[in-house]
Structure 1
C-alpha cells in the first residue's frame, strides 16, 4: 500500500474534525437548538427528570426542543413525551406533575392559578396543601384543591378521568363541588363531571371448559355479555394467568368469537377487555380452559407383523380358525371405540368390525392368513378421533396330528396249544389259544395279526376292543402273531414283538385227497359255453365224511368261481365259466375233526371251438 498523498491527508483530517464536531452535538445540542428568548415569559417551574424522548415548546415558537433535566418551564409551555418516555415537572409551589408516555400537556397561569391543559395521555400530580390547580379539557374547566396524589387520563375522544391515588382532594366545576373519593374515579366531559363507570363483562362460557379438537383448526366458541356504552371487545388467550404472553388476541364488536388458531394441547387462561366510546377499559374475570386433541388410539397388541400359530385336533377344515386379543391405549376423553379387521391394508376387504366400550376385544375366529386391524375412538358427545395406525398380523392354524400310540407289550410271547379231541369237553376259552397284551393309553382298540410266515405276507387280521382275544380259526402247526394299538382316529402304533403259537392236533389226521381228472394242464374245447359239463374227480380218503372243492380263475384262489361240500368224490361243473386257465383243489372233511390239507392245485385251459385263442 502506497503512502497517503498530501490531498488524501487533507481529506482525512477534515473527516475526523467533522466526526468530532457531530459527536459534540450529540453530547450538547444547544448549538443546534438554541434557547429561546424567555426574558419576557413568566417562569412557572422546571424539568425535574427527563427520560428518553421528552420535548418542550414555547408558545411563541414553532419547533419542539429536547427537554433536559433542570430546563426551565415558562407560562404556556407544552410538554410532550414519546413512547417509553417519562418526565417530571416541578412547579414553583412545589407541586410535582408526572407525565406518562405518549402524553401532551400545556401549562399556563390564569389569575395567579396554575392551569393544566391535558391534550391527551396520562399524568400524575402531587398537589401540595394550600395549592389550587385548574384542569382544562377542551372548553371544560374544573378546580382541584387540597393535598394528595391524583392521576389524570385523557383519550383522544376528549374525556378526562380523575382517580385519587392518595390524600384528600376536592374537585369543582361551575355547578358543584365534591370530594374526590379514592374508590370512585370521576369522568370529566363536556356534559359535566360524573362518576366513572367502567364497562363490565359477564363471561358466559363456563370456567374450566374442555375444548376437544378433532382437527387442529376446529373452532372453539367463546361468549360473554357486555354492559356499558361499549364500542369493541378484545378477547385474549394466554398460557399463564399473568397474560405476559398472549397466544391469541381476537378483536370483535360482538359478545362472542371463535378461536381457530392452532394451539398446543394443554391448559390456558382467557379474559375479555371492553372499550367504551371514551376509551375506558373494563376487564372481565380470568377463567381457565383446557384444549385437548383427539389423538388416535395406539394399538399395543398385537405388535406389527406378529404371528399366531396353533395346532387344533380336528378333521373338519372349517374348524381350523382361532381368535386373538387386540388391545390399545387411548386418551381419557375417548369413551367408546370402533374396530375393523381387514384382509388388506386399504381396508377394502373388511372381515369383521364392531364396537367396544373398553380398550380390548377378542377377534372373531380367523382362518390362516394375514390381516390388518385398526381402531378409532369417540367421546361422549360423539366426536370421533382419527383411525389408529393399521397393524398387520398373521394367523397360521393347522390340524394337529394325532400322536402315535405306544407299541403294545405281549404278555405271553410263546404259546403252546393242543387241539382237543372231539370227545373232550372244555370251556370255550380252552377251545382256542388266548392272546394277551398290556393296555396302551389313548387307544380305541387293538389290531391282531396271525400268520403262518414270519413276514406276515398274508395274515389273518382281527380288530378287538380289549387287551385279549381267542384265536378262533386255530390251525395245527407253527404260527406267528403280533398286535398294534389303534388311536381314536385310526392311527396304528408300531407293532409289538412277534409272538409264537405252536398248535398240536391230537385228533385223527385225514390224508390229502389225490386228484384224478381232468389231468393237470389239460386243454378242454367246448361246443358251447352255456353248459360245459366238466367233471372233477379224486380218490376217496379213509375216514372222510365229505369233500370240499374250490374252482377259481386265479392261481392263489383269491377269486372263487365255485365252492361246494359234498359226500361223493366227484363234482360236475355245469354253469358257464370264463375261457382261459381254471384252477381247482379239494380237501377231505370229517365230522368233529380237522379237515385235511388242501390237495395241490391242478389247472386246465378252456377253449371255444369258434375262437381257439387263449384267453386269460
Structure 2
C-alpha cells in the first residue's frame, strides 16, 4: 500500500479540522447563530441554580444555549430541563421558580406582573409577599396573588401534562385567585390539588383511592402454567391507568410480573413457579405521576399435577399360578395404588390394552388412593389415574404405567371367601348421660379367619352397591370401626392370599348406628318493665350430641311450629332473643357436617315473656296542701290521708314527718289500701306527708310523691295533744 502524498495529507488534515469545527458547532452554535442583543431585552431575573442539562432560548433567537448559574433571564425567555436536571429562576421581585426535570416554561413580564406559560412538566413557585404570578392554561390566563403579611412564604407546585390541564397544589402560605366561572376571589386550598382547564375553569381534583376486590391470601390453583389469574379492583378520583405488580418478596425488591392497564381488572397468564407471592396495585394520574399505591396482599400459587402411580411399578412382571376349574379361564385382579396432592379428592382410573389408551379395558372412580382392577387375562396392560378437586377441576393424567400378567394354572388356590361372624351389627352411640367404662366405644366387626391369607380388605359403604367405599387393610379377622357416623352402612370383607390373589367378597353385612335424641333444658320466664317492649335475651341450653356440627333452634308462638323463627348455634348453649312479649314454644335439632338433620327435634319447652310499664307515683287527694286543722279535744287526732290508686301496685308506703326534709319520721306505714287514718299523737304545728306505690312481686317501687303539708292548731296552744 503506497504512502499518502502531499496532496492527500492536506485533504486529510482539512477534513479533520472541518469535523472538529462542526462538532463544536453542534455543542455551541453561538458562532453560527449569535445571541440576541440582550441590551434591548428587559431583564426579569437570573438563574439561581442550574443542574445538568438546563437550556435557555429567547423568543427572538433560533437556538438553545446552556443556562449556567448567575445567567440573566430576559423577557420571553424559555427554560428547558432534561432528564435528572433542575433549575431555579430568581425573579427581581423575590419570587423563585424551581423547574423540575423534563419541563419547558416561557417567562413573560406583563404590566409589571409575571406571566408563566408552562408548556409541560413540573415546577415549584415561591412567591414573594405581595407579588403575583399569572399561569397560562390554553388560551386563558390564571392569576395567583400572594398575601401581604403572611407568616410563611407562599409556595405552589405546578404540573402540566400534554393533555393541557394545569394542576396546582399550595404547599405553604396563603394565595388567592380569581374564579372566572363564579366571578369571585377565592383562596387556593392548602395541600389539595386543583386543576385549571384550557378554558380557565378551576376544579378541585379528588384524591385517587384504590379498592381491591380480589381477596387477600387467595390460593390460585393452576392446572396449566398459563391458566389466567383474574385480579379485580375499583377506584375513585383522578386515575388514568393502573400498574399491577407481583413479587416473590414483600418489599418488591424483585418484581416478577408487571402489567399496565386502563381497565379495573387484569388477567395474569404469565407462568409463575408454585409458591408464595405478594401483589399490589399502583394508580397513575392523567399526568402519568404515581398517585397512590394499594396495601400489599398475599397470594399462593399451586400447580395441579397428576397423581403418581406407586403400584404396580413401571414394566412390572406379575407372575401368578392360579388353580382354576376346566371351564374357567386364567384371569385375575390386581391392585392399583397411587399418591396425589391433598387438593385432589376424587379419582378416575383407566386400564387399557395399549399405551395410547385407545382401547380402554376398564374405567372406574374412587375417593381413595387405591383401586382393584377387574379380572384380566394374561397380557400387558397400561394404567393411568386422573384426580379431581372438590370444585371438579381435573388434574393432568398420571404417567402411564405398564404391567404384564403372567398367569399359570393349577399351582395355587384363591383364598376362600371370608364368613362374617355377625351379619347385622347394631351399635348405640354412647352419650355423656349413659357413657360408662364398660360400654363399647365403636362397633365391632368380625369374620372367621381364612387360611393362607396375607391380610384382609374391609369395605364399608352407605349403599349396597359399594360405589363409594371406605377401605381398610386389616391383618386380623376383627376390627373396631372408630370412624363411624350415625346411620345405616353395608360392609364386606376380601381375603388377600400370600401372592396377592383376592378372594371373592364375603356376604354383605349391615351396621346400624343409632343415637338418642337430644333434650332441651327448661327455660326461664322473662319479666320486663319499661316504657316500651322490645327484644329480650334469655339463656338456652340442651344436651350435647356427638358428631353434631351445629344445632337448629326453632321458636314459634304456635305450638305446631307453622311459621317458626330459626336460629343456628355452634354449641349446645347460647342466648335466645325473644322479639316481643308473649308465650313461645321452643325446640332444637342436631345437624351434621352436610347441614342435614342428625337427630329429630327435642322436647318442646315454653318461654313466657311478660312486660308492663313501671309504677307511677300516686296522686294525693286529701287533705289539700297547706290545710289548717283545729283540734277541739284533748284526745288523739283523727285525720284521714287519701290518694288515688296506682295500676299494678300491691301496697303503698306512707311517711309522716314534722321535718320538711323527712329527716325525722313520726309515722311510717305500709298499707294495702289508698287511705290512712292518723290516730297517734303528733306535734302541733306543720306536719309533712308523702306516699309511694310498691309491688311485692318484683320488689318495684315508684318515686315519692311531692310532699304535702298541713298545720295543727289547739285552743290550749300546747306542744303535744294530750
Same fold (TM over 0.5): yes
Match of 1:143 in 2: 144
Aligned-residue offset at 1:374: 1.0
Aligned-residue offset at 1:229: 7.3
Q: Is the 8 A contact 1:378 1:384 kept in 2?
A: yes
Match of 1:352 in 2: 362
Match of 1:239 in 2: 247
Aligned-residue offset at 1:394: 1.9
Q: Is the 8 A contact 1:311 1:400 kept in 2?
A: yes
> Take 2:62 and 2:24, find their aligned partners in 1: how far apart are those partners?
25
Question: Quick check: 1:188 aligned with 2:193?
Answer: no
User: What is the SS of the residue equivalent to 1:162?
Assistant: strand
Match of 2:294 in 1: 285
Match of 1:492 in 2: none
Q: Structure 1 residues 305 and 279, CA, compared in 2 at 3 Å: closer, same or farther?
A: closer
> Take 1:335 and 1:235, find their aligned partners in 2: how far apart are those partners?
37
Aligned-residue offset at 1:95: 4.3
Match of 1:43 in 2: 43
Q: Structure 1 residues 30 and 71, CA, compared in 2 at 3 Å: closer, same or farther?
A: farther
Match of 2:391 in 1: 381
Q: Which stretch shows the higher mean deviation, 286-295 or 367-376?
A: 286-295
Residue correspondences, number: 398
Cα deviation per residue 1:252-310 (whole Å; 9 max; x = unaligned)? 4x54444445555553524263656x878754624444444433333344332122334
Question: Quick check: 1:170 aligned with 2:180?
Answer: no
User: What is the SS of the residue equivalent to 2:357?
Assistant: coil
Q: Structure 1 residues 333 and 25, CA, compared in 2 at 3 Å: closer, same or farther?
A: farther
Question: Quick check: 1:197 aligned with 2:197?
Answer: no
> Take 1:385 and 1:91, find their aligned partners in 2: how far apart are those partners?
72
Aligned-residue offset at 1:37: 1.0
1:346-425 to 2 correspondences below 5 Å: 346-399=356-409, 401=411
Q: Which stretch shows the higher mean deviation, 5-14 or 143-152?
A: 143-152
User: What is the SS of the residue equivalent to 2:17?
Assistant: helix
> Take 2:310 and 2:374, find their aligned partners in 1: how far apart are those partners?
19
Question: Quick check: 1:206 aligned with 2:215?
Answer: yes
List gaps (5 residues or longer) in structure 2: 147-151, 414-451, 453-722
Q: Is the 8 A contact 2:33 2:63 kept in 1?
A: no
1:603-614 to 2 correspondences below 5 Å: none
Aligned-residue offset at 1:151: 1.7
> Take 1:402 and 1:199, find their aligned partners in 2: how far apart are those partners?
81
> Take 1:161 and 1:387, find their aligned partners in 2: how far apart are those partners?
59
Cα deviation per residue 1:49-105 (whole Å; 9 max; x = unaligned)? 445554322132344444344432112211223455443333345544332233221
Match of 1:577 in 2: none
Aligned-residue offset at 1:154: 1.7
Match of 1:155 in 2: 161
1:163-562 to 2 correspondences below 5 Å: 163-165=169-171, 167-173=172-178, 175-178=184-187, 180-182=189-191, 184-189=192-197, 190=199, 192-228=201-237, 233-239=241-247, 242=252, 245=255, 247-252=257-262, 255-261=264-270, 265-266=274-275, 267=277, 269-271=279-281, 273=283, 275=285, 283=292, 285-286=294-295, 287-312=297-322, 318=329, 321-330=332-341, 332-399=342-409, 401=411
Cα deviation per residue 1:222-242 (whole Å; 9 max; x = unaligned)? 333344577x54352433664
1:2-151 to 2 correspondences below 5 Å: 2-25=2-25, 28-51=28-51, 53-83=53-83, 85-93=85-93, 95-127=95-127, 132-138=132-138, 139-145=140-146, 146-147=152-153, 149-151=155-157
Cα deviation per residue 1:483-530 (whole Å; 9 max; x = unaligned)? xxxxxxxxxxxxxxxxxxxxxxxxxxxxxxxxxxxxxxxxxxxxxxxx
> Take 2:365 and 2:11, find their aligned partners in 1: how far apart are those partners?
90
Cα deviation per residue 1:125-180 (whole Å; 9 max; x = unaligned)? 34456654443434132314251543211233332222244x43423325233264
Cα deviation per residue 1:452-497 (whole Å; 9 max; x = unaligned)? xxxxxxxxxxxxxxxxxxxxxxxxxxxxxxxxxxxxxxxxxxxxxx
Higher relative contact order (CA 8 A, sep 6+): 1
User: What is the SS of the residue equivalent to 1:387?
Assistant: coil
Match of 1:547 in 2: none
Cα deviation per residue 1:569-600 (whole Å; 9 max; x = unaligned)? xxxxxxxxxxxxxxxxxxxxxxxxxxxxxxxx
Q: Which stretch shows the higher mean deviation, 296-305 or 314-323?
A: 314-323
Cα deviation per residue 1:364-422 (whole Å; 9 max; x = unaligned)? 4544321111112222222212222211122334346489xxxxxxxxxxxxxxxxxxx
Q: Structure 1 residues 250 and 376, CA, compared in 2 at 3 Å: closer, same or farther?
A: farther
> Take 2:412 and 2:168, find their aligned partners in 1: how far apart are those partners?
101
Q: Structure 1 residues 191 and 340, CA, compared in 2 at 3 Å: closer, same or farther?
A: same
Aligned-residue offset at 1:319: 6.7
Q: Is the 8 A contact 1:107 1:117 kept in 2?
A: yes
Q: Is the 8 A contact 1:302 1:327 kept in 2?
A: no
> Take 1:349 and 1:225, find their aligned partners in 2: how far apart are those partners?
52
Q: Is the 8 A contact 1:137 1:158 kept in 2?
A: yes
Q: Structure 1 residues 250 and 381, CA, compared in 2 at 3 Å: closer, same or farther?
A: farther
> Take 1:237 and 1:291, find their aligned partners in 2: how far apart are those partners?
15
Aligned-residue offset at 1:112: 3.4
Aligned-residue offset at 1:211: 3.6
Q: Is the 8 A contact 1:198 1:280 kept in 2?
A: no
TM-score (norm 2): 0.48
Q: Structure 1 residues 389 and 79, CA, compared in 2 at 3 Å: closer, same or farther?
A: same
> Take 2:367 and 2:225, find their aligned partners in 1: how far apart are those partners?
26
Q: Is the 8 A contact 2:311 2:335 kept in 1?
A: no
Q: Is the 8 A contact 2:35 2:61 kept in 1?
A: no
Aligned-residue offset at 1:353: 2.0
Q: Structure 1 residues 402 and 342, CA, compared in 2 at 3 Å: closer, same or farther?
A: closer
Q: Structure 1 residues 63 and 255, CA, compared in 2 at 3 Å: closer, same or farther?
A: same
List gaps (5 residues or longer) in structure 1: 404-441, 443-616
Q: Is the 8 A contact 2:130 2:145 kept in 1?
A: no
Q: Is the 8 A contact 2:247 2:279 kept in 1?
A: yes
Aligned-residue offset at 1:8: 1.4
User: What is the SS of the residue equivalent to 1:173?
Assistant: strand
User: What is the SS of the residue equivalent to 2:314?
Assistant: coil
Aligned-residue offset at 1:42: 2.2
Aligned-residue offset at 1:6: 1.1
User: What is the SS of the residue equivalent to 1:337?
Assistant: strand
Q: Structure 1 residues 105 and 358, CA, compared in 2 at 3 Å: closer, same or farther?
A: farther
Q: Is the 8 A contact 2:321 2:412 kept in 1?
A: no
Match of 1:562 in 2: none
